[in-house]
Amino acid sequence: MNQYDYIVVGSGIGGLYTALLAKEQGSVLVITKGSIDDCNTKYAQGGIAAAISKDDSPELHSEDTVKAGDGLSDEAAVRILVNEAPARIADLVGYRVPFDTLDGEIALAMEAAHSLPRVLHAGGDATGEHIEVTLSQQVRSSGIQVLENFLATEILVEKGKVAGIRALECRAGTVEEFGCRYLIMATGGAGQLFKYNTNSDIATGDGITLAFNAGAEIADMEFFQFHPTALRMPGVIPFLISEAVRGEGGVLRDAAGYRFMADYHEKGELAPRDVVARSILYEMKKTGSDRVFLDVTHLPPHTITARFPHIYRFCLDHGLDITRSLIPVAPAAHYMIGGIKTNSWGETNIAGLFATGEVACTGVHGANRLASNSLLEAIVFSKRIVERTGNKSKEEVSAGVKTKNVYSSLGQRPVPHVLPRVGLAAIQQLHWDRVGIIRDKEGLEQAAGILAAWQQSLTPPTDQPSYELSNLILTGRLLTEAAFIREESRGAHMRSDFPHTSPKWQCHIIWKK
């Protein structure tokens, strides 16, 4: 089989940035199951956080990140994130990412749970897309080999070390193997687990499944972030209405026009995401509605059209002028906080296997991600992966020091009396209803039993849809069982039967096959 120094699986910001840096160290292959432009990165409207203003500091950025993480952030990893952020922003500028400027300086915006403006944007609400397009153009022109429409199906491990990857050519149905010294998983998240989500169709938990089956540790899967404000209109797919809209002054109202967020949190609309999402859910239940409303009609129309051109145009295309009318919104699944457990160099417990971006669990986010730290995390730790492999190119790499963890493995579940027919819609409805924003023992137990039975009933996958279905079910099991084990509420994980945070659970739930 063809041999490479580096194989990168995934083509979001983490994968592309890693590939560009790794090219300086050796041969690189990028494998992606769609086109190089299919990923969650381009859906990131909010921006990328970094302490680059004279009033800001890495210490302030760290404080905000740790506070959002609700007792579970790895503070050493957070310090790396915030201290290396300005240099990584400079790298993106060097790659010609067109960040928005004001009077010749990069413009900085306010977002929820940040103590001051530190969020950079490109094209207003098109930050992720601009970064993705810029990096994909760099990769295309660099001579890096890219295989599109290849779905990775198995990590090849020999004597405890990565040997390569097996992949399905999705159109022809053929299987190929590729060898490597270093394998970097950058496959993104698993938003397609949920009926309402803001993710690309490709977010089906592929990397979690690959890594788990290879013997890698998977951490913090119970923490899944639900974005408070996704467009909720009949017949319209959930479309992200950026955090930055509230940062710019947008307010949340119920159907009667009452501004309700002050009833739930002193910061109102700028409370942490999990608080805002749950508050909206409570309001929806109180009023019997499936939506609340985000109001920006008090802002100057030119501010809205210039600052949020994508959101403005998308809503206008669906008959809604947000400069004049309220925006109907509801929470939707947005970001997988847990993932493949890594140390501060992106290393896993399998020699030669690394992870970056949303599929990785670096420990930065803890129990809840601070807005706009995700794109930053991807570039900071991607850089460190390439530094590590360059410095250690002739040595074996090993995993980092273990922190306080609870280790578990998936067990058997009783077969439910009534087993729904397995399919994408059924998986999404099950997770939304039983493993969504607010959870309880009964619902989690039901979901865990159904998912286990579905997994047992599956025939071996042979094509892209069957692999993705299988990957979603396993990823869903890891998420659901972790949520069942954690008998408390913390960050993005809310148990109605255990509504308080418990010191006993200031630890990480780790899965290993």
Catalytic positions? 273
> What is the distance between the alpha carbons of residues 374 and 469, in angstroms, rounded to a whole number?
26
Which amino acid does the sequence have at 423?
Answer: G
- Structure tokens belonging to residue 199: 């993710």
**How far is the C-alpha of 184 from the C-alpha of 6, rounded, in Å?**
7
Encoded tokens for 82: 């915030």
Answer whether 191's CB lies under 8 Å from 452's CB.
no
Sign of the torsion formed by the C-alpha atoms of 154, 206, 36 and 188: negative
Which DSSP symbol is given to 351? B
Beta bridge partners, 183, equal: 7, 353
- The C-alpha atoms of residue 146 and residue 161 are separated, in whole angstroms, by 24
Tokens of 80: 């790396």
How many other β-carbons are positioned within 10 Å of the β-carbon of residue 441?
A: 14
Say if residues 185 and 354 touch (Cβ distance below 8 Å): yes
Half-sphere exposure of 265 (CA within 13 A, CB side): 18
Half-sphere exposure of 507 (CA within 13 A, CB side): 15
Decide: 47 and 109 in contact? Cβ < 8 Å: yes
